[in-house]
Structures are given as structure tokens and as C-alpha cells.
Amino acid sequence: MSKVLIIGINNPSKLDNGKSVVMNGVISFLKQRYGEKNVKSVFFSGESNEYKDVLVKPGFFTQSRNILLYSLLLRKKAIQEAVFYSRGNTKRINNVINDVNPDLIIIDTIRIAQFIPENNKAIVYLDDLFSIRYEKMLEIMSKHESVDLNSIGNFGKFIPNKVLNLIKIKAVEKSLLRIEKNLVFKSEVKTAEKFQTLLINGNEVNVLSDRSMKVVGINEIRPFLNLEPTVLSRRNKHVVNEKRFIFLGSMNIAHNRVSIIHFLETQMQNIITKIPDVKIVLIGKHAPTEVRKIAEKHPRNIEIKGFVECLEDEFSKATAMIAPLIFGTGVKLKVIDALSQGLPVISTDYGVEGIKLTHGENCIVENNLDNYGELMLQMTDWKKNQIISQGSYDIFQKYYSTESINKHYGTLFNVGEINANKKK
């Protein structure tokens, strides 16, 4: 009986970010394939089977020393690696590997890969190429000096508060982001040269391959969202008559917050001129003050819903999803959510990056935000809406349905077809 070991930062069962969704899908697949007893896990936070509390986040002194020594002086580790590093964790992780003696090891990003000696049983999930993400953030910071990107994001909870407060100073943030970009670049290449690696963005597979001729093997991994509609339900014309457009995404994430503020500030009047009874529905937590102030100016046309438990109901009433992102990297899972319901998507390149879509057939791609009013108006035409709707649903079935993902993961992890009747 094959055994699998998962080593990560957070237990991904909470599904509160894209990386957790992907890792949770992988774990679910492997448990179904091998049985729950044969899939072990160890995390820095969250329940970890019998290996709970094996990994310990270093204290303030150790983290600060690591950042100063390994990141700023020696330039050997990215900051996101340094805050987790300790000899004790290295020893404990390798003790767990020796104890489990797994046939397959799944590693969560460069933060964990730093602890693992070269191992042909290991596969590292890199998520996105953070070196590219940070490069794009630096570009935005140069163009829009007043924008708060919160470049640390969710990772901030792992950084000592005193260090975090220092990083929030704009000049310091920019300087550290440049350093981190270069250090992450090196770590991504080094990881790809030691282990088989997975990236969610197929475009970045080629980028990382080009950065080194020694890579072990790099593959795209498609996310398993466990969305399986049985029929395309968008057949009622009310979806175009209501002229209801959804923007979906947590607004404490920089690319969502900055993009929707910019979009509403620059395009709202033009959209209302084109579609006087338009309703733009903002779904997601943490709507900032700037968004609320704009919504107050347009009470008939902007609705802030906040977090929504059941997206299917919102999608069924919507004319289309808009994703007018002005920067960002990686695959946006919310777009795949929309595809699963046949909800047409109007997006910039950033919103559909890494998703196998074709403009005019199964989505609308437009980088000039000035054209969104006209494109949204076009989506209120029933025939045009249905063409894109059917096309988007077909793409979901082809690449992201359970059947498609099972075959995809079977190839990635070399385990063949799932035996659906396998006992756990």
C-alpha cells in the first residue's frame, strides 16, 4: 500500500485562499486514491494527523536573526523562508519523513522545500512564481505612488509585529520587495533544480523552465474546485433583463482592492450612461472605505453584498462577471467558479491568466477599461450572452470537471485512475 506525506505551512482545510483550495484538492484526491490512513500530514499551523505540533514557528528573536543574517546579509534565503527556518524544524521534518517512509511527498512551496534534502519522491507545489508577482507589484508602486498594495498580504501573520510595522513604511516596503523578488527568484530556480515542481499557471511553467537548464521537471496543475453542475442552468432571460454584473473577490487582497477602486472611480459614470439601470454587485469581504464612499454616490447602481455563502444563487441571477484587474498574477479561481455555472466573464488579461479561454468564444478579454460599458451592454443581448455562457460552461467541463481533474492528477502524481469504490 503506497504512503503519502504532505508537509505544509497551513492546514488547507479552511479554504480561505487559492493555495489552500489547490492543496486541499490534491489531498482529497490522494486520500481517495490511497485511503485516509495512508496520507499523513504535518503543518506549522492547524491539525496535522498524529504529527500535530511537530513544526514550531520560530520566536521573534530567531525570526529577526534569520531575516538579518540569511536574507539581508548573506542573501541566501527569501524572507518568507527565513521566518520559518530553524535547525530544530529541519531535524523534526526529516525525522517525520524517516518515520513515515513515504512513496510520495507533497511539499508546500519554497518555504518548506528549504528543509528537504534532494529527494526523487518529492513534488513541490510552488503556487505562483512569486518573483513575477513581486516584479508586477513594484511596477504598480512606481506608477501609483499612493496605492497601498499590502505586498506582504496574508503572509504578514507569520512575521513579528515589530518587523511588520517597519515593512509598512513605504520606502522600506519597496526596498524589501526588491530584495525579496531577487531572493525568491533564486529559491524558485534552486527548488526546480532539486525537485519536481508544480505551478498553477501554465504560462509560468515555461518561464521557470527557461530560467535554468537543470530543472528536474515542471508541470502545470489545474485546481480542483469540486464544482460539478449537472446541467447548464442559465436559460432564463431574466439574467440579461436585470443587467446585474458581479465583481467577486476579497478586497483585502491588493489586486482586487486597487482594481475595483480604480474601475469604479474611472468607469462608473460611463457605464451608467450606457446602462442607466445597471447593478454592479460587489461580493467579497473587507470592502474598503473608498469603495463604500463610491457606492454611496450610486445607491441604485452599486450593491455591496460582502461575503456570500452560496455563490450559485448569485451567479444564476447575474448577467456576467467583471474582472477589471489592472495587475496581478496567477489563476483566479473565481473565474473558474463562474465558468462552472456558464456565467460570462468580461476581464482583463490579468483576470484570465493561466485559464484556457479564447476571447469571443468563451469569454470577453479587454484591457482598455474605457470599453467596459459597451461590452457590458453587449452582454445584455440574450443571444450574445448565451453564446459566451455555453462556451464558458464547455471549457469548465473539458478542463476543470471532476472527471477531467481526476485524469489530470492521476498523470501528475503517477497513480492512474481513481478507484471510486476504494475503501478508506
Helices (H), 120-224: 130-143, 161-167, 170-194, 202-211
| The pLDDT of residue 143 is above 70 | yes
Enumerate residues 6+ apart whose C-beta is below 8 A from 407.
417
Higher pLDDT, residue 200 or 142: 200
So what's the pLDDT on residue 418? 34
pLDDT (0 to 100) of residue 153: 57
> In the numeric block, which cell numbers belong to residue 176?
524589501
Burial 122-137 (b: 16+ CB within 10 A, else e): bbbbbbbbbbbbbbbb
Q: Tell me: the pLDDT tens digits for 173-194?
A: 788 889 999 999 999 999 999 9
Q: List residues bridging with 107 in a β-sheet.
A: 7, 124
Measure the CA–CA gap between 90 and 117, rounded to whole angstroms: 10
Phi, psi (degrees; rounded to nearest 5) at 345: -120, 130
Domain 4-226+403-412 matches domain 238-399 at the CATH topology level: yes
Please give the model's pTM, rounded to 2 decimal places.
0.86
Is the confidence at residue 87, as pLDDT, over 90?
Answer: yes
Check pLDDT > 60 for residue 136: yes
* DSSP codes joined into one string, 306-369: E--S-HHHHHHH-SEEEE--SS--S--HHHHHHHHTT--EEE-HHHHTTS---BTTTBEE---G
Query: What's the chain's average pLDDT?
Result: 88
Give the model's pLDDT for residue 245: 97
Long-range contacts of range 262-269, CB-CB < 8 Å, 24 or more positions apart? 262/324, 262/326, 262/369, 263/322, 263/324, 263/369, 263/372, 264/291, 264/294, 264/302, 265/294, 266/369, 267/324, 267/369, 267/370, 267/372, 267/373, 268/294, 268/298, 268/301, 268/302
Give the DSSP letter of residue 116.
S
The domain defined by 4-226+403-412 folds into: Rossmann fold (3.40.50)
Distance CA 365, CA 345 (A): 8
Neighbours of 309 (CB within 10 A): 5
Domain extents in the chain: 4-226+403-412, 238-399
pLDDT at 421: 33
Strand duo 364-365 + 122-127: pairing? unpaired
Compute the distance between CA of residue 103 and CA of residue 120 in angstroms, rounded to an integer. 10
- Opening angle at CA 297, ends 293 and 300, nearest 5: 120
The phi and psi torsions of 254 (rounded to 5 degrees) equal -55, -50
pLDDT of residue 255: 87
**What proportion of the chain, given as a percentage, has pLDDT over 90?**
65
Q: Which of 126, 124, 125 shows the shortest CA–CA distance to 185? A: 126
The predicted structure's pLDDT at residue 400: 93
Q: What is the structure's pLDDT at 422?
A: 37
What pLDDT, in 10s, does the model give residues 253-264? Answer: 888 998 999 999
Locate 68 and state its grid cell. 538579518
Assign domain 238-399 to a CATH class. Answer: alpha beta
Q: Residue 225: which pLDDT band, with cuts at 50, 70 and 90?
A: confident
Nearest-10 Cα torsion for 410, 415, 417, 420: -110
pLDDT tens-digit readout, 12-40 = 888 777 888 999 999 999 999 899 999 99
Q: Alpha-carbon distance 138 to 396, whole Å? A: 33
Handedness of CA 328, 333, 336, 337 (dihedral sign): negative
Cβ neighbours, 10 Å, residue 286: 14
Q: What is the pLDDT of residues 410-423, one digit of tens each?
A: 999 986 443 333 33
> What percent of the chain clears pLDDT 70, i.e. is strictly above it?
88
329 pLDDT band (50/70/90 cuts)?
confident
